[in-house]
Structure 1
Amino acid sequence: MSWFDRRAFLGALGAAGLALAGCGFTPAYGPGGAAGALTGAVALSEPEDRAGYLLNRRIEERIGRAPAGRYRLETAIETDTGDFGTTSTGSTTRYRIASVVAFTLTDTATGAEVLRDSVESFTDYSATGSAVATLASERDARERLMVILADRIVDRLILSATDLPG
């Protein structure tokens, strides 16, 4: 790439940045961004099991901990595990874990429901190693799945933050 092409490319990037700034674009995590309304403002429901704990842990990593937050997030996790890969002899080589998390965001001051939605995802793990390796793979897959779902919940909350009261 010649210097002229690089300059043209960088100039186009700068122009695109100015165009986005002119249309009111604000980065979600930037100053005045939508994520700022949620940071430290969402209290989470008590986890019922390990999946709930992992989900809450990731949400707190993303938007902070708020035991007495402006909003309360209630979650309900449904998980299903099934065979995903088998050999010609019928031995299972992979399992798929699918989960749906229904969540409700409530304004703690008024008790009004602000947002009701759900997210879903899946992940797989291998069952071809030893029993210990398979258990470790399953545990890791469940943790990955909760991280994916928590990230999707936080993304939905951030997208809805402009509609939140106050």
Structure 2
Amino acid sequence: MRPLRLALSALLLIASAGLSACGFAPMYGANGVSSELADIRVETGRERVDFRLQEALLDGMGARSASGPYTIRATTSVTSTPFGVGADAIASRYALRITVNWQLYRDGSVDPVMTGVARSDASYDVPTGVYGALASEADAEDRAINIAADRIITQLARAMQDGQAW
């Protein structure tokens, strides 16, 4: 049993040395690329969708107490399109699309360091009750916002890892 454990330990050591030699850097983790995202401040608009996006970005980047030299500014647009029409000619299902245009600025700079667009879609049913319809729409909006925030964070982390930003 002891020689097997020793052989596995040696194999693990060789594999980890090989990964570090090829330039492998973890994207997530304490020393990964995403740890630098925690220093980015987030600015959005004043609507509900903007606030939810800001919260999703702050949570996803771990940037609640960001104090670094970078700020991400995002503007959102929401479109809702009916696509499920019943026999009574009333829409019973909607497709919601959120588009987020974002720019990353360094403090004191007028031109953005990086720009991007994140789009996400969600759909929702419209029940007959007013409260149910509002809750269903808000839930779809939250799902789409979380997807858009994840896409923005992935774009930033990928750019940092590739050396495109900063």
Short-chain TM bin? 0.7 to 0.9
Q: Which moved more, 1:48-57 or 1:156-165?
A: 156-165
Alpha-carbon distance in 1 for matches of 2:76, 2:30: 33
CA contact 2:120–2:145 (8 Å) conserved in 1: no
User: Segments of 4+ in structure 1 off by > 6 A?
Assistant: none
What's the counterpart of residue 43 of structure 2? 45
Q: After superposition, what is the alpha-carbon deviation per residue over 1:17-73, rounded to whole angstroms, capped at 9, x for unaligned?
A: 65544422222123432112221x111114321000000001110111246431111
Equivalent residue pairs, number? 154
Within a 5 Å distance, the mapping from 1:96-107 to structure 2 comes to 96-107=95-106
TM-aligned CA deviation for residue 112 of structure 1: 4.2
Structure 1, unmatched stretches of 5+, are: 1-9
Could you tell me the TM-score, scaled by structure 1's length? Answer: 0.80
Three-state SS of the structure 2 residue aligned to 1:96 is: strand
RMSD (Å) for aligned C-alpha atoms: 2.6
**C-alpha offsets along residues 70-90 of structure 1, whole Å, 9 cap, x if unaligned?**
111111111111102112332
> Is 1:28 paired with 2:31?
no
Length-normalised TM-score, structure 2 = 0.80
Question: What is the aligned partner in structure 1 of residue 139 from structure 2?
Answer: 140
C-alpha distance in 2, partners of 1:129/1:20? 57
Percent same amino acid among aligned pairs? 25
Question: Which ranges of structure 2 fall in alignment gaps of 5 or more residues?
Answer: 1-7
Identify the residue that residue 58 of structure 1 maps to in structure 2: 56
Q: Does residue 1:163 correspond to 2:161, yes or no?
A: no
DSSP 3-state at the match of 2:27: coil
Which residue of structure 2 aligns with residue 108 of structure 1? 107
CA contact (8 A) 1:74 1:104 kept: yes
